Structure 1
Amino acid sequence: MSTPPPAPPSDDVPIGTLKHKAFGSAIWTFVRLGTDQAFNFVLFAILARLLGPTAFGVFALAYLYAEVGKIITTAGLMDALIREPKITDRIRDSVFWANIGFATILALAGLVLADPIARLLEVPAVAPLIKVLGFMLPISAAGASHMSLRLREFGHKTVALRSIVSGIVGGGAALVAAYLGWGVWAFVVQRFVFEVVGTILAWRAYPWIPGRQFSAHQLKALFAFSSNMLITQLLFMLLIRVQDVIVGKLIGSAAVGIYRTAWKMTEVIAQGTIQPFSTVALPTLSRLQNDPAGFDVAYRRLISTAAIFSLPALTGFGLVAGDAIVLLFGPQWTASVDVARVISCMALPFTIGFFTSPALAALGRSATISKLALVQVVLTVSLSLLAAPYGLVAVAGAYVVRAYVTTPLQMYALQRVQGVSMLKTFKSIAAPFFASLVMGAAVLIMQLILRDRINSPLLSLAVMVGVAALVYALALLGFGGAQMRGQIGQIKGFLRRRPATT
């Protein structure tokens, strides 16, 4: 018999309590992502100097198998656990053992598929990496259900602590391996240690021992929702990583490392500024799926708050990428600079896109998400193949063009399903958007003025960041003073008092 787990969240969560939980979860997600990104950033910079573009490119191609495997292993069931109104022992047990079974099959399949994949990519070095990385999947699957059940209860504090500890231990192991001369295998060491520590902590965070109440019938019922989520997650993963395959095949594995590094910088910023809010979007909006007015308010509040941080951060990074990348990673990564500048133009689509899928998932519209993702993947592949002969910057530009074409489609889908106005959504992010444009203009002017006056990249970067922060703050107050006061009031209310629970 299963060990009794913590009580699941009530279906009838008071709005005040839900708002407080969502905001508290966002705060803890900020802590987790801030710590993760700070540590991973330092780790990434050290490994970039030690290993170089080729090692990064080879690992990025090999890890693609593990990424696909992790998505197939969970089969979209993790989102189903979060969204399911009532959780029983039968549901928990069925999901857990299904994950373990899928992961074991894929680990064994990696032994067979590794060499054909390496031949297809024309990169022989990826074959042994794929064979080993496949056996990371059962380790990851063993803790996936526990973390999803914890997140269902807004347990983002626990998730934050787990992520911090796993990241530090895994990163430390990678540094040791790199200094010992293990090359690309340092990345493999990092992933294995991270997953082992994470799974151990997941079991401690959600003290539940899986039982034997596996039910194929129960899984079939969950698959009605999760199968579309599985397809969607695969499509969204391919949306980002399919360009690596195209670049690796047509340009080379070192080019993948250069391209992936430019993406890494942008992802660090996006995850640190947007993901704290998008992470709590699914559990929050799921509880408001039958309240269109409340759903609309919550959705726009989440996206507007994220935009305050994401739009200036991504815009600013694009402007200072030349100094930042060379200073952090060394001159061997100069080729990443122009790619990063182009990708930073994704600020607006990034901010909106991070919330559209959780919002549609909360409404049970996984089929709509899948269709949108398929359109995005097809356009990405088509445009990237056309752009690849012209180099990495053209490939990055193809992705940005695709994003601006499909973002309105995503917003229209949400408006059609739940009545979330596209115009109101744009208005909710108008203040940080225009403030970011003013900030960008100010930084460009300062760069022209100081071009021949500051020879130190570090000093130049510090000046640009200071100017950007000051101008953005003033512009944001000018364009959206009321919005800022509302956000500050919400933060003060969270810190000073407990919400009412009735």
Structure 2
Amino acid sequence: MSVRPYIRYGLNLAGFNVLNYFSRNADNVLVGWRFGGAALGYYSKAYSLLMLPLSQINSPMTKIMLPALSRLQDDPQAYKIVYLKSVTVVLALGFPIVGWLMALNEEVILLILGNQWIGSIAIYKALMPAAFVSALNVTTGWVYLSLGTTDRQLKWTLFAAPLNVLAMWIGSRWGAVGVAYGISVAFVLLRWPYYSYTFRGTLIRCSDVFRVVFRALFSVLCAAFLVLLFKSVIGGELLIFRVCLYTVVYVISLLFVDVCSFRGEGLVKPLGDVWYRIRN
């Protein structure tokens, strides 16, 4: 048996990881070079605080789902079903965290980092759209890795990485906050072509994924909106109450989406289905 396919798989994956690393760290280089160490400190703190919770979800989910999807690569219909259920689980876990961080952005910065990091708040807000996108990004990597199409993953990165860096550079005209907005804009604008390219050759459609995204996003935004409205009317006090309000409204919205789902399967049932597959 030839080992060439495995070597190509590994080389393409290595190339992707190298390009992705430099693309993901170009913002730190740009902020530090153009605006100095203080701005870089604010920027890196905001970025790491926002993305850290997502990495704690994505890493173990990848270890679980990658082998499961790899075993289904010869059964496209089963692959699609399991993939969409796993996307639902990732969103049901990741989106509420991002929404909570969005609704309580100032409190999170001041409570965890302290008053000396107040300069990170504006950057933190600017990165919110990128955080929502990043909550789903890990699932596209599962497709490339489980189907052995790392060559296509590398080709996309060769196309997208320069655009991401360009967006950062354009945004840098408005300081470190502009760099953050540049990342968010690039992430959002490239999502549809990225997913369309990723799912080409499979039974998965962009509309399938975005239907799941809409359901999760609806629940999160309802909860975040009411918390922000409560804050604007009542003031900045009662933090614990706002956390409880966010949780209650999110759960109610989630159940509402499940009840109204026209396909009879919303966001709650896939959690149990994926857990059943993991246990069996």
Asked if 1:314 is matched to 2:92, the reply is: no
Structure 1 distance, partners of 2:50, 2:247, is 18
Q: What's the CA shift string for 1:240-265, capped at 9, x where partnerless?
A: 21111111111112322211111111
Give the 3 Å change call, closer, same or farther, for CA 381–445 of structure 1 in structure 2: same
Q: In the alignment, does 2:115 pair up with 1:337?
A: no
Highest CA radius of gyration, 1 or 2?
A: 1
Where does 1:101-140 land on structure 2 (aligned, <5 Å)? none
State the SS of the aligned residue for 2:73: coil
Name 1:235's counterpart in structure 2: 19
Deviations 1:201-253 (A, max 9, x none): xxxxxxxxxxxxxxxx95x6632111110111112212221111111111112
Quote how far apart the aligned CAs of 1:484 are: 4.5
* 8 Å contact kept, 1:315–1:345: no
Q: Compute the RMSD of aligned alpha carbons.
A: 2.3
Q: Which residue of 2 aligns with 1:483?
A: 266
1:396 aligns with 180
Give, in angstroms, the shift of residue 430 of structure 1.
2.7
- Answer yes or no: is the 8 Å Cα contact 2:91–2:213 preserved in 1: yes
Q: 1:390 to 1:485 in 2, by over 3 A?
A: closer
- Asked whether the equivalents of residues 50 and 131 of structure 2 are also in contact (C-alpha less than 8 Å), the reply is no
Distance 1:299 1:492, change over 3 A: closer
Q: 348-357 vs 240-249, which deviates more? A: 348-357
The yes-or-no answer on 1:466 pairing with 2:244 is yes
Q: Does 1:263 align with 2:21?
A: no
Q: List structure 1 segments (4+ residues) > 4 angstroms apart after TM superposition.
A: 491-495
CA distance 1:245–1:347, change in 2 (3 Å): closer
Alignment match, 2:196 = 412
The alpha-carbon distance between structure 1 residues 303 and 492, as it changes in their structure 2 partners (threshold 3 A), is closer
Cα distance change, pair 325–286 in 1 and its aligned pair in 2 (3 A): same
Q: Give, in whole Å, the separation in 2 of the partners of 1:494 and 1:272.
A: 21
User: Distance in 2 between the 1:221 and 1:278 partners?
Assistant: 23
Conserved? CA contact 1:443–1:464, under 8 Å: yes
Using CA pairs under 8 Å that are at least 6 residues apart, name the structure with larger relative contact order, 1 or 2. 2
TM-score normalized with structure 2 length: 0.90
CA-CA distance at 1:403 after TM superposition: 0.4
CA distance in 1, matches of 2:94, 2:173: 32
Structure 2 stretches lacking a partner, 5+ long: 260-264
Equivalent AA in structure 2 for residue 278 of structure 1:
T
1:44-443 equivalences in 2 (<5 Å): 222-443=6-227
Contact 2:27 2:165 in 1 (8 A): yes
Give the paired residue count. 275
* Aligned-partner SS, 1:416: coil
Contact 2:222/2:253 (8 A) holds in 1: yes
**Cα distance in structure 2, aligned partners of 1:256 and 1:421:** 39
Contact kept? 1:225, 1:366, Cα under 8 Å: yes
Write the deviation string for residues 20-50 of structure 1: whole angstroms up to 9, x where unpaired. xxxxxxxxxxxxxxxxxxxxxxxxxxxxxxx
CA drift of 1:302 comes to: 0.7
Deviation at 1:277, TM superposition (A): 2.2
Letter in 2 for 1:397: Y
- Asked if the contact 1:228/1:367 (under 8 Å) is kept, the reply is yes
- CA displacement at 1:485 relative to structure 2: 4.6
Distance 1:488 1:232, change over 3 A: closer
Distance in structure 2 (CA, Å) of the matches to 1:494 and 1:402: 36
Residue 248 and residue 485 in structure 1: after superposition, are their counterparts in 2 closer, same or farther (change >3 A)? closer
* Aligned-partner residue type, residue 74 of structure 2: N
> What residue number does 1:17 align with?
none
CA distance in 2 between partners of 1:328 and 1:236 (Å): 29
How far off is 1:319 after superposition? 2.1
In the alignment, the residues of structure 1 paired with residue 189 and residue 252 of structure 2 have an alpha-carbon distance, to the nearest angstrom, of 32
- For 1:347 and 1:387, the matched residues in 2 are separated by 17
How far did residue 352 of structure 1 move? 2.6
Listed as ranges, the gaps of 5+ residues in structure 1 are 1-85, 87-216
TM-score of the superposed pair, with normalisation by structure 1:
0.52
Question: How far apart in 1 are the matches of 2:112 and 2:97?
Answer: 17
What is the one-letter code of the residue matched to 1:411? Answer: Y
Q: 1:371/1:494 Cα in 2 relative to 1: closer, same or farther (>3 Å)?
A: closer
Partner amino acid, structure 1, of 2:170: L
Q: CA deviation at 1:431?
A: 2.0
- What's the offset of the Cα at 1:471? 0.4
1:432 and 1:480 in contact (8 A); partners too:
no
Aligned partners of 2:207, 2:275: CA distance in 1, in Å? 29
In structure 2, relative to structure 1, the CA distance for the partners of 1:347 and 1:465 (3 Å cut) is same
- Would the aligned equivalents of 1:342 and 1:396 in 2 still touch at CA under 8 Å? yes
> Which amino acid in the other structure matches residue 241 of structure 2?
V
